[in-house]
Amino acid sequence: TTVNGTIDADSKIAATDKLAALGYIPVKVSIGSSTGFGSLEELNERLTTVTAPDLILFTKQFRTMLKSGIPIINLLETLEQQTENIKLKKIAGAMAIDIQGGASLYDAFGNHPQTFSTLYRSMIQAGETSGMLPEVLNRLTYILVHEHKVKTEVRSALQYPIIVIVFLVVAFLVILTFVIPKFMVVFTAAGITLPLPTRMCVGLYTFLHTNWLLLLVVSAGLLLALRAYLKTEEGVLRRDKLLLKLPVIGPLLVKTAMSRFASIFSILQASGVTVLEAITILSGTIGNAAIAWEFDRIRVRLEEGRGIAEPLKQARFFPPMVINMVAIGEESGELDAMLQEISDHYDYEVEYATKRLSEALGPFLVVCLAAVVGFFALAIFLPMWDLTKLGH
């Protein structure tokens, strides 16, 4: 008997696995069309994102139950019931069905690439292959916590400067658009000669007032074009190369990348992943296209039979200390331990550089604020000073 119907799944493969698990033999599977937002639950799921803390908690729970000897299917069903994040809850249920259908744990995680990164899936594969999944999950949890900590520190360092710059721009536009024109009525009626700062304000106001629509269209067009370009491989590479050349910010990004490189590489080595596979994983997870491109070049040299230290010497962005410590670790057979030392060192460097970034941007923003306030003060009070002279 042929049965027609619909089934919820993330992909055609996932739908086929679900049907097979239910005892059906799929003849044809196609993607259906949606005529709206669906139910409130479906809409809520689409709007829900999986944050780093959500993923860390999910991984910790997974590891704890696995270490306790709970079978994978029961484990995933328990996670489906207990996980608060709606998207992760549905993913856990889908993974349980996939494994019931004969899929490996790596394949089950692989059906959800938007939630589980290349690094995450590769670690699962390494643990499943080596039979050391609980230990690998423990190391994976460390990576996730470490990454979240570094990103939070960098984000908190940049938060204050960004807020100040936004308010500075808004204040500039408000004063130029609403305050200056009102004073201009008084100055024009008095017939006084306007000083240079006031004439500059008048010129800027006239330009914005006359061409605001054109400026809006051009700005929107440039932003859309830039956004489209930054989605291309060349655009991402150029952007990341430019970021690495910026003063203060560039060195911070390099140190963050070195910390990530060393910590992930160390754990992959300890988990039994080969150097060549580790470099491939690092290329997709390092977080900077310019440094990832260097990893691609390193991988080519590794395929030629060279060790890891020699290709690192020929790559850009890798400090001499990293290269020397990797060389020592490679020669002594303790590469994973040496990489952990590098990671610890750059964790401290990132924390220090982040603090320095905040301290360096503070005085710069104060100078910018003083310049804007001083400019408008001169533009308003110089003509008023001339008015008071006329009054006498």
Classify the C-alpha dihedral 40-42-43-44 as positive or negative.
positive
Quick check: 83 pLDDT over 80? yes
What's the confidence (pLDDT) of residue 223?
A: 94
- d(C-alpha 348, C-alpha 255), whole Å: 10
- d(C-alpha 162, C-alpha 168), whole Å: 10
Quick check: 218 pLDDT over 50? yes
**C-beta of residue 138 within 8 angstroms of C-beta of residue 127:** no
Quick check: 37 pLDDT over 50? no
DSSP symbol at 241? H
What's the confidence (pLDDT) of residue 58?
A: 92
What's the confidence (pLDDT) of residue 224?
A: 94
DSSP 224-237: HHHHHHTTSHHHHH
Per-residue model confidence as pLDDT tens digits over 235-258? 989 999 998 888 878 888 888 888
Contact residues for 390 (Cβ-Cβ < 8 A; gap 6+):
190, 192
Q: How many C-beta neighbours within 10 Å does residue 344 have?
A: 14
The residue with greater pLDDT, 240 or 269, is: 240
Per-residue model confidence as pLDDT tens digits over 291-340? 888 888 888 888 877 778 888 888 888 888 888 998 898 888 888 888 88
What's the confidence (pLDDT) of residue 138?
A: 86
What's the confidence (pLDDT) of residue 134?
A: 86
What's the confidence (pLDDT) of residue 11?
A: 61
- d(C-alpha 117, C-alpha 123), whole Å: 10
Quick check: 35 pLDDT over 50? no
- d(C-alpha 115, C-alpha 52), whole Å: 10
Instruction: Give the global pTM.
Output: 0.66
Per-residue model confidence as pLDDT tens digits over 93-120? 999 998 888 888 889 998 888 889 887 8
